[in-house]
Amino acid sequence: MTVVKIGLFGINTGACADPQVALRVARAAEDAGFDSVWTAEHVVLPDPQAPPSPVPPETSLLDPAVALAYLAGGTERIQLGTGIIILPQRNPLVLAKELATLDVVSNGRLIFGLGAGYLKAEFDALGMPFEDRGARTSEAIEVLRTLWTQSKPHFEGRFWSFEGIQAHPLPLRSPHPPIFVGGHSPPAYRRAVAQGNGWYGFALDPEAAAGCIRGLAEAAERVERPANLAPLELSLTPSVALDRDTVRRYEDLGVSRLVAIGRGNDGDTLVKFVEQTAGTLL
């Protein structure tokens, strides 16, 4: 039995863009002992598809917060992760309300994964500046923390400033839902070290994961980690099939959660994938 937690990626896309299929798969994952289910996100997609766009423009992607709120009503224990929300494309005050609500309706099961984004066409369509997305991401994290933890929220930043407001309900998790910073770049590593409860990597084999973890270690030598943050929790979506030996390789690197991509084009196949994965790893 592995010590690494096992999650399921893609609960809002593919066959799971059908909410009834998504609920069936999420319940199967919960029953099988999976730790979590995770969403993908692109608010819009470039048409026609061109690198580095990852999927065709017609790909259905349910909104992460809406999809997870729906799944929260039909499950009891499994954690609900955003893997990831493209944070600089969002107004963080509005997002803070959406995510706090999701944490409340799920009885404190939200894991908030975020990224800075990488498709300029998305930012252009949304009217958001692409060049300062990193700075916006870092500041937005602090906006969210301020709204979720301060009794009298007050913030002054480059992009957002506020005081004399309240935003309730607050999340059920204390002090707030865990924040996982996604990305494979030096700025993402620094952001994870300085601001994240965890780091989330995507589509990594063990060798690539080892390189990212070295990047996080190098960032930790340059960026101070706040004393109130526990050691960084490492989660990632593997790019290879998982067996016990492969899981052990990730575990030896310090990875604590593997979020497997659901393999299947319909509910039956996805449920079988969940059950087979649990039988092998859990």
Sorted by where each begins, the domain ranges of the chain are 5-281
C-alpha angle 139-143-149 in degrees, rounded to nearest 5:
140
User: Per-residue confidence of the chain (282 residues) as pLDDT tens digits?
Assistant: 568 999 999 999 999 999 999 999 999 999 999 999 999 999 999 999 999 999 999 999 999 999 999 999 999 999 999 999 999 999 999 999 999 999 999 999 999 999 999 999 999 999 999 999 999 999 999 999 999 999 999 999 999 999 999 999 999 999 999 999 999 999 999 999 999 999 999 999 999 999 999 999 999 999 999 999 999 999 999 999 999 999 999 999 999 999 999 999 999 999 999 999 999 999
d(CA 255, CA 141): 23
Q: What pTM value is reported for the model?
A: 0.97
Which CATH code, of 3.30.565.10, 3.90.1150.10, 2.60.120.10, 3.20.20.30, is assigned to 5-281? 3.20.20.30
Environment class of residue 123 by beta-carbon count within 10 Å: exposed (0-12), middle (13-18) or buried (19+)?
buried
- In this structure, are residues 175 and 148 in contact, taking their beta carbons and an 8 Å threshold? yes
- Determine the angle formed by the axes of helices 267-281 and 19-32, rounding to 10 degrees: 20
Beta bridge partners of 259: 7
